Structures are given as C-alpha cells and as structure tokens.
A and B are shown apart, each in its own frame.
Chain A
Amino acid sequence: MKRFSLTSVLLASALALGVTTTAYADAGDSPVLKRIQDKKVVNIGHRETSIPFSYMDSNGKPVGYSIDICMKIVEGIRNELGNQDIAVKFVPVTGQTRIALMANGTIDLECGSTTNNLTRQKQVSYLPTTFITGTKIATRKNSGIKNVNDLKGKTLGVSTGTTNEKVLKAYIEKNKLDTKITQFKDHSQGWLAIETGRIDAYGSDDVLLYGLISKSKNSNDYTVVGQFLSFDPYAIMVPRNDSTFQRLGTSVIANLMSSGEIDGIYKKWFEPGPTDINMPMSETLKMAFKIQALPN
C-alpha cells in the first residue's frame, strides 16, 4: 500500500513536470486565476443582510457562514498560485447586482445565500451545495395559521423577485386560496409589515425566516409554519466557462466536507450562532455533505 502510493506520487509529479512544467504556482488556463495572480487580489461579493450567511457585523465587516467557506477557498487559491500575499477585497452585492458584477469581472466569488438553479446556470457556475432550505411562511403565534392552506382569505407578504414568490403564488392559485399577496422590496420591509399588522404572514426561505424572527423585538410572538413548498440549495457562485477555477473551489469545499471541518463552521453560525438562530443541521444537509465529499 505504501509503495503503491509512493509510486503514484512519483508518477503524478513526473506527469506534472513533464506535461505542464509550470502547473504549480500558476494560473494555468483559468482566466479568473490569471486575473487574481495579476492583480494579487481576490474580489469577494458579499450580501449585507443575509443572516447568518453573509452580513455585516457591528464593525461593518462582512461575516457569516458563506464568508467563512469563501475564506477557505481564498486559502486554496493562495496555495494554488504559491503566493501568500494575495489580498481579499469585499464588494457588497444585492440580488439585482450579483450577476452583472460577476459577468463583468468585478467579483470572482459570490458568497451569500444564492439558490442554485438551472436557469441561473446559463449565466454563472456554482460550487457544491453548502446549505439546503425551502419556502415556508412565518406568522404570529396567535394568528391561527398552522400551514399554508390556512392562508385562505388572509394577506401574505413576499419579497419581489424571489423564488419564494414564484412558488407561493403558484400554490395559492392551484389551491384557490384567495390569498391577497403584497410584495416588498426586501426582507426588512416585509418584516416591518408583519410587525405593523399589514400582513398576516410572510413567505421566504425558512432559514431567513428564522433569522428575521431572531432579530425581531418580540421574537417569541412569531413562528415558522407549514411544509416546504420548494427546494432551494444554496451554493457559492463562480464565473462561468472557467472549469479550472470551479474545480479548485469544488475541491476546497469537498475537502471541508470529507474532513468534517464544515460541521464546525456550521456549528459556529447555526447552533445557536451569533444571532441565536438555533437551527440544528438537518438530515438532508448531513446527507448532502456526505455525498459531495468527493475523494481526492
């Protein structure tokens, strides 16, 4: 066994030396790595209010679960390029700007709470799934709403343009619930509307709902109810057409998963996490981490 691995290492190094003499400490055929090597900086796109994935702490510094994973990828980039001096620059992005900024090369990685889907893959590529959530609704405990069907004749708030809006609208139409839908620009305005009694329930990804509740003044008054209406795997976004860079990111994340390091990062942000969100890791996510822990 020992001898075998020694041979393979020798063989691999011989191949590496022979075929691509500069494979180590080089950007290779990756335009993104080349850009990072030239400018000596990795530009990370981050969200400002996606708690606890990517948000600003009290010092105005971007922190969160996705940011921690991205910092591991930055380490991977530094090792790949053999240059420990590569700096990190944080660029704030929103749901509307993330694609544009990635397409025009402003950001190299987007570390937020972005759902991976096939339509979006026409524009960008994704690293392995790092979180799994889905659409649910939050409501006041005394509202009498126990699941989505109880929304009959009630008012539901959603954030404009989200995948949640799409599935909730479809569900309400299909089941003829006669629910009035009010749209909001972002989660904070939607939450303000539920607090001021303008709406009876607010629909979003369950993890974001737990985050909103944990931040609200009377967090004991609210609860998340209902079955999952959609399946939203979150993943870190990388530019398309750069399989070398994508593979580098994938290998970093796969290693985090196989070494179990990702469990520690998860614990730090979710159990209970700095914002008291208190979401133990779901069985689905545990399984996803196992499956995505590709061997080296």
Chain B
Amino acid sequence: MTVKNLERFTELLRSLGIKINDPSEDRYYILENTPVIRLKESIVLYVNGIIEQAEEIDYTRFETPRPANILPSPI
C-alpha cells in the first residue's frame, strides 16, 4: 500500500468507526459488530432494491442488446 493509499484507508476506517491499534510498526485494526451489522443492512436494501426494480421492468420494451457492441474486445 502506498503512503497515500494508507492515509486514505486509515481515514476510511475512522469514518466507519473502526478502532486502529498502534502498538508497534505493525498497525492493525479491531473490528467489532457494528460494521458487520451496517454492511448487512446495506446489502439487504441493495439486493432487495435491485430485485424489486428488475421484477418491475417489462423486458419486451427493450431490444436484445448485442454484447459485442458493449463488451470490451478479448484483446
């Protein structure tokens, strides 16, 4: 990890409320249950939101797209 990325990641951890330990040069962070609960809630809302929308869409309205036009070339 570059110094800049490390700074960004440390900031991210702090914003997620994750405790950072610094007993030596090998710093590590301590995870508790709050980030796990928050992530679970976000995933539930995200997946349910996707399913809800996907079930609402009438796919006959759309032409079948040609993947070759959208996907990057194999090279």
A, B assembled together: no
Interface residues in chain A, defined as those with a beta carbon under 8 Å from any beta carbon in chain B: none
Interface residues in chain B, defined as those with a beta carbon under 8 Å from any beta carbon in chain A: none
